[in-house]
A = this chain, B = another copy of it.
Amino acid sequence: MSAPPNPLQSLIRNLSLRAPLDADDCRLMAALPVTVRTLEASTYVIREAERPGSCFVLMAGFAFRQKLTGDGTQQIVALHIPGDPIDLHYLALDVADHSVQMLTRGDIAVIARADLQHLVKTRPAVGHALFANMLAETAISREWIVNVGRRNALTRTAHLLCELGARLEAADLIDEYGYVLPMTQERLGDALGLTSVHVNRMLKELEIGGLISRTKRKINFPGWEQLRSIGDFNQRYLHLQADLFSHSG
């Protein structure tokens, strides 16, 4: 009988997308002592103004980073999918300037800061991979600024659908040309800087145009290439090698 799948397998896979890790790197990473916590949707992983003591990796489910404005509206500033490290960063800074919340129910692996630091010291490639991952995250932030700042609502919505698709594909979480959108239209709006009403209209427009099809929250992409085009989506900023849906028709 085989050992249970290591909880950090998805992290290792994710990091391997952007930096080389050899067998020893992976083995030692997999050997990190972790505690797994299951969190309900909307639970906070990290709260603004808090000083996080451990490091987290999202193993299952989805999470998001969020900031509130003075008038109480929220903006989602990042989405996380399984395999994403969450704030291995705060190692260097003092206090969190935003919050991280679960988008859906999911599992978080908690790693002691010291253990991670030790691993990074012994295996520089691991540190390098974490760094590359962080740079990719920053690149995604920049693209979000562009998306929200300069693209109209339809393009903006299409772009986010494409980004999620590309990232899920790279993480091998795509189910034949589609995925289940892990959030309400309200939350989509919070990510896009739009109201839920308008998000609804944009999704409908994409659907009428044949670019996507929907069943509940499951989205399929009959017109993937056109969606990419409408969404002004060029995935260079994701810094992945794999080409999403390159097999598609």
Q: Which of A's residues lie within 8 Å of B, judged by CB?
A: 18-19, 49, 65, 67, 69-71, 73-75, 77-78, 89-90, 92-95, 97-98, 128, 131-132, 134-139, 141-146, 148-151, 192-193, 232, 236-237, 239
Contacts and interface: CB of A to CB of B under 8 A. Distances in A.
A90 to B, nearest CB: 8
A157 to B, nearest CB: 13
A145 to B, nearest CB: 5
A83 to B, nearest CB: 18
A93 B236 CA distance: 11
Contact of A97 (B19, B89, B128, B142): B142
21 contacts: A18-B93, A19-B92, A49-B236, A67-B142, A71-B232, A75-B145, A78-B142, A89-B135, A92-B131, A92-B135, A93-B135, A93-B136, A97-B236, A98-B139, A134-B138, A137-B138, A138-B138, A141-B142, A141-B145, A144-B145, A149-B192
Nearest to A231: B70
Max chain B CB contacts within 10 Å: which of A75, A90, A131? A75
A132 B98 CA distance: 16
A93 to B, nearest CB: 5
Nearest to A144: B145
A69 B146 contact: yes
A125 to B, nearest CB: 11
B193 A149 contact: yes
A135 B121 CA distance: 20
Contacts of A192: 149
A68 to B, nearest CB: 9
